[in-house]
Structure 1
Amino acid sequence: MLHKTTKMAAVAMAGVLALGQPLQAQEEVKLRFAHPLSSTHYAWVEGLGRMADAVVKASDGRVSYEVYPAGQLGKDYVSVLNSKLADIVVLIPSYASDKMPLTTVAELPVKYEDACDATRKLWEIARPGGVLSEAEYKPQGMRALFVTILPGYKVPTTTKPVRSLADLQGLKIRASGAAMEQTVRALGAVPIQLTASEINDSLRRGTIDGAIWPYHAAPPYELESLFKYGAEGPNLGSATIVFAMAESKWQSLPENIRQEITAAAAEAQENLCRWTEGEEARVRQDMIDKYGYQPAVLSDEEIALWNEKTATVAEGWAARMNDNRKPGTEILEAFRQAE
Structure 2
Amino acid sequence: MQKTFARSIILSIFSLLIALVMVFPGANTAESKEKITMSTATPMYPAFAEQIGINLYINAIIGMTETHPDLKKYEFKIFDKGMLYGNQSEALEAVSNGAIQMTYSAPHFLEELDPAWKLGETPGVFESWDHYMRSMNTPEWKALHDKMAKEKGVTIIKWLFDTGTWYLFTDTGPIKSVADVEGQKIRFAGGEAFAKALKALKVTPIALPYTEVVTALQTNMIEGLLTDFTGGVGYFELARHTKYAVLIPFGNQPICMVANTKWWEGLPENVRETLSTTFDQIDASKYYEKFEQESIEKWDADPKLSALKFEKEEIAKWQKLMRDSFADMYEKLDPELIKAIDTAR
> TM-score surpassing 0.5?
yes
Distance 1:96 1:111, change over 3 A: closer
Q: Distance in 2 between matches of 1:204 and 1:119?
A: 36
Corresponding residue pairs, total: 301
How far did 1:331 drift? 1.7
Deviation string 1:286-317 (CA, Å, 9 cap, x unpaired) is 33456832122235554353234224145443
What 5-or-longer segments of structure 2 have no aligned partner? 1-31
Whole-Å separation in 1 of the counterparts to 2:55 and 2:272: 17
Give 5+ residue unaligned stretches, structure 1: 1-26
Task: Indicate the residue corresponding to 2:198 in structure 1.
Answer: 184
Q: Aligned equivalents of 2:95 and 2:212: distance in 1? A: 26
| 1:267 matched residue in structure 2 | 281
Structure 1 residue 221 and structure 2 residue 221: aligned? no
Match runs of 1:154-173 below 5 Å: 154-173=167-186
1:1-339 alignment, distance < 5 Å: 28-39=33-44, 40=46, 41-46=48-53, 48-59=54-65, 60=67, 62=72, 63-72=74-83, 73-75=85-87, 76=89, 77-94=91-108, 97-108=111-122, 109-110=124-125, 112=127, 114-115=128-129, 117-124=130-137, 130-147=142-159, 148-175=161-188, 176-194=190-208, 199-200=213-214, 202-204=216-218, 206-218=220-232, 221-225=235-239, 226-233=241-248, 235-268=249-282, 271-289=283-301, 292-299=304-311, 302-313=314-325, 315-319=327-331, 321-322=332-333, 327=334, 329-338=335-344
User: Deviations along 1:251-296, whole A, 9 cap, x unmatched?
Assistant: 332322211221122234xx22211111111112333456832122
* Secondary structure at 1:130 match in 2: helix
CA 52–254 in structure 1, closer or farther in 2 if over 3 Å, else same: farther
Aligned equivalents of 1:151 and 1:125: distance in 2?
23
Distance 1:87 1:204, change over 3 A: farther
CA deviation after TM superposition for structure 1 residue 141, in Å: 0.8
Q: CA deviation at 1:133?
A: 1.0
The DSSP-based 3-state class of the residue aligned with 1:156 is strand
- SS at 1:332 equivalent: helix
Q: Alignment RMSD, CA only?
A: 3.3
Counterpart CA distance in 2 for 1:55 and 1:139 is: 27
The CA distance in 2 between the partners of 1:223 and 1:85, in whole Å, is: 40
Distance 2:178 2:50 in 1: 32
Aligned equivalents of 1:204, 1:88: Cα separation in 2: 41
Please report the TM-score for the alignment, with normalisation by the length of structure 2. 0.74
Name 1:13's counterpart in structure 2: none
